[in-house]
Amino acid sequence: MRIAIAGDLHGLWDVVDERILERLDPDVVLVVGDLGEGEDRMSRMVARLPHPVACVLGNHDAARDVRGEVLRRQLTLLGDVHCGWGLRRLEPPGLAVVGGRPASSGGGYVLSAAVRSVWGPVPLETSIARIATAAATVSAQDPLVILAHVGPTGLGSAAHDLCGRDWRRPARDWGDLDLAAAIVRIRRWRPLPLVVFGHMHHRLRGGGQRRSFLLDRHNTAYLNAAVVPRHGRDEHGRPLRHFAMAHLEGNRLLWAAHCWFDAEATLRRQECLYQAPGE
């Protein structure tokens, strides 16, 4: 199963992206949130993708609207494509996608005013239970991916770690506590091959690059797809687009990479993150 992952869009999505996906023809498209600053056009473009697609909204999608009206509108436009705090079954190809807490900005467990306006004052334990319960409805034999805007705590506390805070000192683990606890519960009864998220941009404040992949001792892979900006140009000025790509076989991750494609969907640059032994 071939999965294309679009990191934090921040308004950067156009016909070139759509043409690349049309030619790559992945089995699944996952979008990790921060589509923009609450612009309707971004949610409409994601919702109309012809591929099996799942999305979770990010903190920027609330657009500083503490009343939650912008967030509600994005949820309406996305419809069933949005899987925050829930389950989206993609048939075909037979993939279950469980969404983490929507519109998260990391930092343990903090609910923004917009999130409280839309969902109410959700306690930590309730958030954990929503994620774990959604996964509990999926057969242990069926492939499962968790899609979140912010990754879980526990992936390192340095600025360059997958969810490390790099914009303020001291550096610290800025992941989601509820997602980490839910993952522990889920793995009590089933394998979890892949957790996909964004939010923590790869380019660090002050220079350097963030780590973007980790495989833990339970064979769960964590992939931060937030290459920002995801639109660029090659040395000749031709447009390039970033997608993280992953290949699953059942509940086993075979391969993952950061890929930059030109407008004709030709692979121009690749950073291999993982290749399973023997593949």
Neighbouring CB atoms inside 10 A of 105's CB total: 18
User: Which tokens go with 232?
Assistant: 């660029």
Q: Is the pLDDT of residue 279 over 90?
A: no
pLDDT tens per residue across span 220-243: 999 999 999 999 999 999 999 999
List the domains of the chain with CATH numbers: 2-275 (3.60.21.10)
pLDDT at position 206, please?
Answer: 84
Question: What is the distance between the alpha carbons of residues 159 and 163, in angstroms, rounded to a whole number?
Answer: 8
> Residues 128-154, buried b or exposed e (16+ Cβ, 10 A)?
bbbbbbbbbebeeeebbbbbbbbbbbb
Q: What tens digit of pLDDT does each residue of 164-182 get?
A: 999 999 999 999 999 999 9
Give me the pLDDT at residue 226, please: 98
pLDDT digits (tens, 9 = 90+) for 41-98: 999 999 999 999 999 999 999 998 999 999 999 999 999 999 999 999 999 999 999 9
- Alpha carbon of 264 to those of 51, 225, 230: distances in Å? 18, 22, 16
pTM of the model: 0.97
